[in-house]
Amino acid sequence: MNASGMSAGPPEPPQLPARIAITPEQWLGLMLLAGMLAAGFTRDAGLTLATIGRIAAIYFFLIAAFRLLGKRELSSLSALELITLMIIPEIASGTLNGDAPLIDALVGISVLMILVFIVSLLSARFTGFARVVEAPARLLIVNGKLCDDALRRERITPEELFAEMHRQGLARLEEVQWAILESGGHITFVPSREH
């Protein structure tokens, strides 16, 4: 606590009892998945174990890689992150099918993660580089007026913009000081102070 009697950090959320609740549908799904595994073991136990091992290794490797890269890589899907998520299955598919050694997939994913990290470092350090790899933010509404040219360039219809406004609790254009299309594709609305 500080001198005014308030804590230095945000308040802690209430704690819920640590119980696991599994619905009947989830139990059914788990039983079906277990049945598929059993079928794989009856067909070829060695191949099934090898497949499970390869998938688990790639899965935990990806968890560790994203954890080490930090939250920035997972905050929102920009074009670069989407490309990354599209390439990972291609890199891992040969290994998951048993056609390529596990090390090939791990090396490929490592190269991809290093590239993602380098691009994020360069983007943070050099604004020119950031402009090349990520689209700049664009104003769509200024002081309650639509920016027609920006809407046409971004291929956003007024109907789409209004639907997004309504989802964020804004009913009329006059209520919006700015609408900003962020580089990740999300639209941020800054309400007018007069409304």
Query: 159 with 67, same domain?
Result: no
Domain boundary among 83, 103, 130: 130
Residues 68 and 152 in one domain: no
Same-domain pairing of 92 and 150: no
Mark the ranges of the chain whose per-residue pLDDT is less than 70: 1-10, 13, 16, 18, 63, 66-67, 69-80, 82, 184, 195
- Cα 140 to Cα 31, 158, 173: the distances in Å are 50, 10, 11
Q: Please report whether residue 154 resides in a domain.
A: yes
57-110 tens-digit pLDDT = 887 887 677 667 654 444 455 666 767 777 888 888 888 787 888 888 888 888
Please tell me the predicted confidence (pLDDT) of residue 137.
82
Domain carrying residue 82: 24-130
Regarding whether 123 and 33 lie in a shared domain, the answer is yes
pTM for this predicted structure = 0.53
- Flag whether 8 is in a domain: no
pLDDT of residue 6: 53
Same-domain pairing of 71 and 167: no
Rounded Cα distance, 160 and 157, in Å: 5
**CA distances from residue 157 to 134, 149, 166, 168, 171 in whole angstroms, order as listed:** 22, 11, 14, 17, 16
- Say if residue 114 is in the same domain as residue 37: yes
- 106 and 172 housed in the same domain: no
Number of domains in the chain: 2
CATH of the domain at 175: 3.30.240.20
Sign of CA dihedral 76, 79, 82, 88: negative
